[in-house]
Chain A
Amino acid sequence: MEILVCMKQVPDDSVEIRLGKDGQPDLSQAESQGNAFDTYALEMAVRYIEANGGAVTVLTVGTEDDKACLRNSLSVGAAKVVLVEGSGTDAAGTAALLAGGIKKLEAENGAAFDMVFCGRESTDYIGGEVGEILAETLKRPFVTDVVEVEPADAKVVVKKELESGYLKVESPIPSVFTIAKPNYDPRYPSVKSKIAARRAKIPTVAQSELALEDGALNAKVSHKAFLEPPKREAGVLVKEADAATAVAKALEILAADKVL
């Protein structure tokens, strides 16, 4: 199996991002890292090829700065990484660049990737659209929120997470899947694999090398402004020495606010 994982580099999702004085998101306190769901996708892909054979390629769209997540990918099991230089102005643009990169790699390999994995959404803009548009562009079978993949003859059987419960789904290959959080965490690199990855040369593909359709990168959705969300006014705080008095006071306020 040849698996391609799409990865986006995002600001650390454990840091709360707010608007800075310049009206832009202040990312100064958040280090860049691979999007959490994309790292789950990579781990799932690496586990799959460890069990069934094959190789994992990781593809990122971005600039020189985005090479860091590709280096990390090399240190945790990716056999090959590629940076497509450029940036989509919207989800459709990003998907077009990814599709262009995938088609170029497939032409070089002489075969389609058996599976393309994308994280279900990125933790920064949380659009959850790129994998969807990519699947439509490549016109391949598509299953979202996958937490397990198993081989089944010339197909694969995946476990798809639902709001409640799971679906067992059989999919032809080549196919595209978005990956949700499986019941394991991504592995850590070893010191040795980290050093090797640091020395590795990251292959890049220029936008001009991609066979994109005319207008594929025209903005379908454009950014207008960042806004501060309206603040909810804090209400009344009841603080009493004993719980019974506190509840009595609270009930008075609820009655006055006509809540009950």
Chain B
Amino acid sequence: MKALIFIETKEGAPIGASLELVTAAAALGADADLVKVGEKEGVLKEDAVVGAVAKKAAEGYDVVLLAATPLGKLTTARIAARLGAGSVNDAIAVACEDGKLKVTRPIYGGTIREELCVETAAAVISIRGGSYEAPASVPEIAELAPEAEEGLAARVLELLAEAGEAVNLEDAKVIVTGGRGMGSEENYKLCEELADVLGGVVGATRPVIENGWISRTHQVGQSGKIVAPDLYIACGVSGATQHVSGMSGSKYIIAINKDEEAPIFSVADLGIVGDVKQVLPILIEEFKKIKA
């Protein structure tokens, strides 16, 4: 079996979720070629990727793997359409059974999983970050020229920046997330402080984004980022399915909530029943001592 892996880069470096695809391909027993795609001014990134990867894949690959990032998820089905192949977005496991690809994906916001079988000779699959371990070493990555059809495609006019810094939640080792239970924008800053102490990044639930306490780039959950850090600290987070499905792949979860019945405790390795406004300042001081 031959696999083509599309490697997405951020500031020139491959992202973690893309590198994990090397492990996924190995699990399928496939020989993998890694490619990244250059950019071209005025051309939508996805148009360039779809054109270049579909052209390369037509050289005779059995499976094309992409990371289930926003870019991966909106190119997977398009590449498949050009190849006449079956596609699955946001897979969490792939396996080879009787010569066919068996793929598992979450549906209904993560409360149910569905097993699918790709019936076509070739398959294009995007895989959610954290589903496979990072490989021990990174094979060579070839660069493909961007391919976009002139005339037919939409043209990028300008990038409209948004207040709030870029944040890499997907590759973070530690994430401290604040939920509605933080009470105010002022209190939410305690999460940022704790994240700083631990060298992590700060996450947020949907209500926090809707309240405008932090920009939407920090949102963790089904409608935000799917994350799987080594340590996830949920502060004042109730644990709605929408949120839990985006973070339940974390290695170790700490939850702090004053409501003992909060669903977040059912997924936490360590739960602290208490008021975040009292617990967090002490926790921050103690972690500072440990880290010093």
Binding site for B on A (CB under 8 A): 13, 16-19, 25, 90-92, 95, 123-130, 132-133, 135-137, 139-145, 157-159, 162-172, 175, 178, 218-229, 232, 234-240, 243-244, 246-247, 250-251, 253-254, 257, 259-260
Contacts and interface: CB of A to CB of B under 8 A. Distances in A.
Majority secondary structure of chain A interface residues (helix, strand, loop or mixed): mixed
A229 B120 contact: no
Contact of B81 (A92, A124, A163, A223): A92
A169 B290 contact: no
- Which 7 A-B pairs have CB atoms at the shortest separation, nearest pair first? A220-B86, A129-B77, A136-B81, A235-B269, A171-B154, A243-B278, A132-B77
A162 B160 CA distance: 10
Given A18-B111, A169-B44, 12 more contacts: A126-B89, A126-B106, A163-B217, A219-B119, A234-B267, A235-B253, A238-B270, A239-B260, A239-B274, A247-B282, A247-B286, A250-B272
Nearest to A255: B290
A228 B77 contact: no
Interface centre among B47, B108, B151 (most CB of A within 10 A): B108
Nearest to B276: A243
A229 B273 contact: no
Given A128-B89, A168-B160, A170-B155, A227 B282 contact: no
B196 interface: no
A247 B283 contact: yes
A25 B106 CA distance: 12
B211 interface: no
Interface in B132-151: 151
Interface residues of B, number: 80
Interface in B241-256: 241, 248, 252-254
6 contacts: A90-B86, A124-B107, A170-B157, A221-B118, A224-B102, A259-B231
A198 B156 CA distance: 43
Contacts of A158: 154
B13 interface: no
Nearest to A89: B119
A109 to B, nearest CB: 22
A246 B113 contact: no
Interface in B91-130: 102-104, 106-120
B265 interface: yes
Interface of B: 44, 46-47, 70, 73-78, 80-82, 85-90, 102-104, 106-120, 151-162, 164, 166-167, 215, 217, 222, 231, 241, 248, 252-254, 260, 265-275, 278-279, 282-283, 286-287, 290
A145 to B, nearest CB: 8
Contact of B112 (A144, A163, A228): A228
B270 A254 contact: yes
Contacts of B70: 145, 162-163
A251 to B, nearest CB: 6
Contacts of B271: 234-238
A228 B113 contact: yes
A222 B273 contact: no
A127 B77 CA distance: 9
Contacts of A13: 109
Contacts of A168: 156-160
Contacts of B120: 220
B81 A137 contact: yes
Contact of A169 (B110, B155, B253, B269): B155
B154 A220 contact: no
A17 B46 CA distance: 32
Given A167-B159, A221-B87, A246-B274, A128 B112 contact: no
